[in-house]
C-alpha cells in the first residue's frame, strides 16, 4: 500500500486529519528531506521511521521500495511542501506500484498552484499547469509554443529567476499580457501582485524576492 500525503506549503495547520492518521498508521514515511519532514512530524507527535526519497536517489531505491510493499509494508510519501508528484518525486514510484498492482491512494490537500490560480483574477475554467520552465535547452521552443496557448498558464519559479522569466515572457507574449505572481503562500508575508507582465516585472525588479513563487499568466486572446 502506498499513500501520497500532501503536507503544508507554509502554515503548519494546513494539513488534514486524515493525513495525520495515515502518517500515524504507515510503517515508513518516504521524505524528500528528512530534516524538514521531521519538524512536521515532531509538531504533531508522530514517531515513524523516515527514509529519504528524492530526485537524486529515486531510481536507485525504487525496486527496493516496491519489494517492501509487495511484502506487506504500508508506506507514505511526503515532500517538503504540497502534494507529492507535482514538480516533486513520486511519479516513478506510483507507476511502479501500478505495474505491480500495489494499491495507491493520493490524499487531497495542500497544493501551491491552486490558491495562486484562484487568487489571480484570471480565467480559471480552463488552465494549463506547466511547472518549472526549461532553464536553457528548450526554453525558446517552450516560450514560442506557449505564447499561442489560449488557456491560463500556471508556472512554478524560483525567486532568483522570477524577474528574468517575467522579462522573457513579456518578450514572447507581449508586455501587456496579464499575469499574477503569488509568493509565500499561507505564510505571514504572503503576497499576490497582479498586473501586466511588464508591470509585475518592474515591481519585483525593485525589491528582494523571497519565498516559493507561483506565476499565473493569462492565455492568448483570440
Closest listed residue to residue 84, CA positions, set 27, 30, 15: 30
End-to-end CA distance of the chain: 47
Domains of the chain, start order = 2-106 (3.40.1010.10), 113-217 (3.30.950.10)
Q: Is a pLDDT exceeding 80 seen at residue 222?
A: no
Q: What residues contact 143, with CB distance under 8 A and at least 6 apart? A: 133, 168, 169, 171, 172, 173
Q: What is residue 89's predicted lDDT score, i.e. its pLDDT? A: 87
**Residue 91 confidence (pLDDT):** 94
Q: Residues 80-117: pLDDT tens digits?
A: 999 999 988 899 999 999 999 999 999 999 999 999 99
Q: Is the pTM of this model over 0.85?
A: yes
pLDDT at 88: 86
Amino acid at each position: 500500500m502506498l499513500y501520497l500525503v500532501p503536507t503544508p506549503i507554509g502554515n503548519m495547520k494546513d494539513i488534514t486529519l486524515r493525513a495525520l492518521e495515515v502518517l500515524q498508521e504507515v510503517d515508513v514515511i518516504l521524505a524528500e528531506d528528512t530534516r524538514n519532514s521531521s519538524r512536521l512530524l515532531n509538531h504533531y507527535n508522530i514517531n515513524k521511521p523516515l527514509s529519504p526519497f528524492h530526485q537524486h536517489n529515486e531510481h536507485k531505491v525504487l525496486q527496493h521500495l516496491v519489494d517492501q510493499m509487495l511484502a506487506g509494508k504500508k508506506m507514505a510519501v511526503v515532500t517538503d511542501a504540497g502534494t507529492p508528484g507535482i514538480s516533486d518525486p513520486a511519479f516513478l514510484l506510483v507507476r511502479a506500484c501500478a505495474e505491480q498492482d500495489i494499491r495507491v491512494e493520493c490524499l487531497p490537500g495542500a497544493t501551491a498552484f491552486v490558491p495562486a490560480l484562484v487568487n489571480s483574477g484570471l480565467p480559471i475554467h480552463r488552465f494549463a499547469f506547466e511547472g518549472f520552465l526549461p532553464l536553457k535547452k528548450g526554453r525558446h521552443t517552450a516560450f514560442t509554443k506557449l505564447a499561442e496557448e489560449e488557456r491560463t498558464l500556471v508556472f512554478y519559479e524560483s525567486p532568483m529567476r522570477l524577474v528574468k522569466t517575467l522579462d522573457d515572457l513579456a518578450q514572447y507574449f507581449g508586455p501587456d499580457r496579464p499575469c499574477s505572481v503569488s509568493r509565500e503562500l499561507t505564510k505571514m508575508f504572503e503576497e499576490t501582485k497582479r498586473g501586466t507582465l511588464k508591470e509585475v516585472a518592474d515591481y519585483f525588479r525593485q525589491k528582494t524576492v523571497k519565498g516559493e513563487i507561483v506565476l499565473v499568466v493569462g492565455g492568448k486572446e483570440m
